[in-house]
Amino acid sequence: MAGENGTRGWIGVDLDGCLAEYHGWKGDFEFGQPIQPMVEFVKKTLEAGEYDVRIMTARANDGPEVVSAIQDWLEAAGLPRLAVTATKDFKMVMLYDDRAVTVELNTGRLGSEVLAEWQRRAAFNRSCALCGGTWTQEAEDRAANLGSRT
């Protein structure tokens, strides 16, 4: 499904606390300093041309003057006047946000649980590397049972 500018979709980047420093609410027209690693990420994403980038912020609901001020801030940070929205749609492929928690698709599992499982499997694979083993639930269960025998 093509998005704007013929791309496949768009990536949302939160403003406060993600793209701009956030140290508490100071008003619609007050923005923190740019967070340079995220500014560079947005630049690289735009240069790659695979996705559009939109600024995802609740401030977009506060009117066109606020949206324009955000776009001015973007330009001052070295970015183009990107679209600013508070709304997701089906063309959004990813959201970078300091408040979001990832949930694995169609499972209800929190991203932290998925990461913990991946790290557990990776550690198991490293410990079995000498014998050429790879992770399976059965292999992990057997190893746990062996470890519980004293």
Considering only CA atoms, give the Rg of the chain: 22
Question: Is the same domain home to 78 and 118?
Answer: no
Whether 104 is in a domain gets the answer no
Per the listing, tokens 């014998």 go with: 131
Residues 56-82: pLDDT tens digits? 999 999 999 999 999 999 999 999 999
Q: What is the mean pLDDT of residues 119-148?
A: 60
Q: Find out whether 104 and 117 touch, Cβ atoms under 8 Å.
A: no
Query: Does residue 118 surpass a pLDDT of 80?
Result: no
Question: Is the same domain home to 14 and 53?
Answer: yes
Question: Is the same domain home to 13 and 68?
Answer: yes
The angle at the Cα of 52, spanning 15 to 43, to the nearest 5 degrees, equals: 65
* Total of domains in the chain: 2
Point out which residues pair with 85 in neighbouring strands: 56
The angle at the Cα of 146, spanning 141 to 150, to the nearest 5 degrees, equals: 140
Q: Find out whether 59 and 87 touch, Cβ atoms under 8 Å.
A: no
Domain residue limits at 141: 111-148
Question: Is the same domain home to 29 and 68?
Answer: yes
